[in-house]
A and B are shown apart, each in its own frame.
Chain A
Amino acid sequence: RKEVEQDPGPFNVPEGATVAFNCTYSNSASQSFFWYRQDCRKEPKLLMSVYSSGNEDGRFTAQLNRASQYISLLIRDSKLSDSATYLCVVIYGNQFYFGTGTSLTVIP
């Protein structure tokens, strides 16, 4: 079983829609969690950390559910510029474990 699993998508949503991605992790002792964004032919860039109490950054909300071992990313009022691949990252010990990414395309 992989350490981190994501639905690869693709998710194709209209502008203005709300979209949510989930990411499950296998190790209950995982310590830290992040969402990264990767644009086509670019490097992954940190989007936001995921805190136990949940956190929001503008149109983006990240949540952690330790009981069910998943993290989520909610994007409200989708913009064309949100089109990218979203990678979840789970830290256990000294290791960063990346999901394979979820592809999002926002359609005009």
Chain B
Amino acid sequence: DAGVIQSPRHEVTEMGQEVTLRCKPISGHDYLFWYRQTMMRGLELLIYFNNNVPIDDSGMPEDRFSAKMPNASFSTLKIQPSEPRDSAVYFCASSLLGDTNYGYTFGSGTRLTVV
């Protein structure tokens, strides 16, 4: 298995532009999570899906952020318009929560810089 795949690995964009981050979870995993990590706040859960349905989006900072999971093998996190304070590493993770002995598997992350 290739693990959780995220793209792009790095993104540099100008303030006000739309940014789309992509994630392919591990095949068969029924939970998908989007996290943001900064030095100041550590890992923050933004939103998570169960069987492609958003369950909890209370961590999404504001309306500029949106996430979708159109099918079991793909999810997107969109920021529109982007702001410099959105600069962070965004991780996607997937899990088969019925087997909690194995925890999460994270993707390599997208390092976003908004200038």
A contact set with B: CB distance below 8 Å = 31-32, 34, 36, 42-46, 49, 87, 89, 91, 94-96, 98-101
Given contacts A32-B101, A95-B56, 15 further A-B contacts (CB under 8 A): A31-B100, A32-B103, A34-B103, A43-B106, A43-B109, A46-B102, A49-B102, A49-B103, A87-B43, A89-B103, A94-B48, A94-B50, A94-B97, A96-B104, A101-B42
Nearest A-chain residue to B4, judged by Cβ? A43
B residues with CB within 8 A of A: 31, 33, 42-43, 45, 48, 50, 55-56, 91, 95, 97, 100-109
Inter-chain contact A43/B43, CB cutoff 8 Å: no
* Contact call A32/B100, Cβ cutoff below 8 A: yes
Judging by beta carbons under 8 Å apart, are A100 and B106 in contact?
no
| Minimum CB distance partner of B43 in chain A | A98
| B13 nearest CB across to chain A (Å) | 20
The answer to whether A43 and B42 touch across the interface, beta carbons within 8 angstroms, is no
Output the residue of A43, A95, A100 with the most chain B CB within 10 A: A43
Residues of B within 8 A of A46 (CB): 102-105
Q: In the complex the two chains form, is B103's CB within 8 Å of A36's CB?
A: yes
Contact: B102 with A42, CB < 8 Å?
A: no
Is the CB–CB distance between B42 and A100 below 8 Å? yes
* 22 intermolecular pairs with C-beta atoms under 8 Å apart: A31-B100, A32-B100, A36-B104, A42-B108, A43-B108, A43-B109, A44-B43, A44-B91, A44-B106, A46-B102, A46-B103, A46-B104, A49-B102, A87-B43, A91-B100, A94-B31, A94-B50, A96-B45, A96-B95, A96-B103, A98-B42, A100-B42
Q: Is the CB of B103 within 8 A of A43?
A: no
| Contact status B101-A49, CB under 8 Å | yes
